[in-house]
Amino acid sequence: MKSLIYLSEGFRREMRFVAIGNANVDIKIFVERIPNPDESMDALAASVSAGGAASNFAIAAAKIGVESHIVACLGGDNLGRIYLETLKRCGVNTSHVKVVEGMRTGLVVILNVLGEDRRMIESVGANDELTPSDIFDRRDLLTSADEVHMASVRPEIAESVLEVRKDASWDPGMRIIRRYRSEVWSLLSKTGKLFLNEREAEAISGEGDPLTYITKIASKGPNEVIVKMGSRGSLAWVEGEIYKVDAIPVKVVDTTGAGDIFAAVYLRARRRGYGVEDCLRLANAASAIKVSRPSTVNGMPNWDEIQTMSLMFYGKRA
């Protein structure tokens, strides 16, 4: 039987997740359209908040009731200091965050244009300072976790993590796939669970049809392949079976962080022993709630909200 982890504040958490990868400050701007050259226009809304796929995952994990730790690099600047406070306020354990003096914290400008996919401009800053030895130094943390999840990490980091935890999950993201496609492809044979969105699955496999690309990616050897398909739902390959679950239709306001909470919810539900379709339903429900809210950090739903949304739409209790 799984032992419960008791925290000093008196909370009981049934599992521990470790997120490894990017922590960015997201500058999010909502606009009606992209301005023309030399044109200045008013934003519809704007925000500055903690972001980065690993950090979003860690915050989401804490929100759904998991003991959450993060291994990431922040700059020794004011943004890094504010960022650390945000993570702590969200219930994420920051003991394994590396603060790199003289470096800037990662920065991403996210343009949310009405009715279009978001556009992102990224300056990696301190994120690139994460090294394989940082991973080996945290071996005890990694082995103590129920789930280790990597997001936006370079292949050399993924390889070090997979040496310690063969079952670690990986959401490489488009930036890493574009830069290191062949290295990512080779590492798939060692990866536990692989999370991709549709564009990433197409880019890495060179295939356009979902059943073809998921089968081709699975043939490389990861234990599970999960594809987040936005308004088309989600797809998973697990032990030779393919599962597809429809999305919950909602008005999309902001997709940032939706894929990250999807991964956290899927992993928690899998760890609890739920069937693959139930895990996809809950993960879809979490993403649907998140995309309907404009904030990444404050927009992450809790487990009760996710279960209710899933039950209301799919009519099944997971």
Partners of 234 in the beta sheet?
A: 228, 245
Nearer to ligand RIB, 147 or 254 (CB): 254
Q: Least distance in Å: CB of 276 to ligand RIB?
A: 23
Q: Least distance in Å: CB of 296 to ligand RIB?
A: 6
Q: Which residues contact 285 (CB under 8 A, 6 or more apart)?
A: 248, 265, 306, 307, 309, 310, 313, 314
Alpha helices (runs of H) in 34-189, residue ranges in sequence order: 53-63, 78-89, 132-137, 139-144, 155-164, 173-187
Given 17, 19, 30, 51, the residue binding ligand RIB (CB under 6 A): 51
Nearer to ligand RIB, 173 or 192 (CB): 173
Q: Least distance in Å: CB of 2 to ligand RIB?
A: 29
Residue type, 165: R
Q: Least distance in Å: CB of 291 to ligand RIB?
A: 12
Q: Which of 276, 268, 214, 217 is nearest to 245 (CA)?
A: 276
Selected range binding ligand RIB among 130-138, 176-184, 199-207, 254-262, rule: CB under 6 A: 254-262
Partners of 245 in the beta sheet?
A: 234
How far apart are the C-alpha atoms of 173 and 237, rounded to whole Å?
19
Torsion of CA 308, 173, 134, 146, to 10 degrees: 30
Q: Quick check: 52 binds ligand RIB (CB under 6 A)?
A: yes
Nearer to ligand RIB, 179 or 316 (CB): 179
Given 17, 20, 21, 56, the residue binding ligand RIB (CB under 6 A): 56
Residues in the site for ligand RIB, rule: CB under 6 A? 22, 24, 26, 51-53, 56, 108, 120, 122, 256-257, 259-260, 296
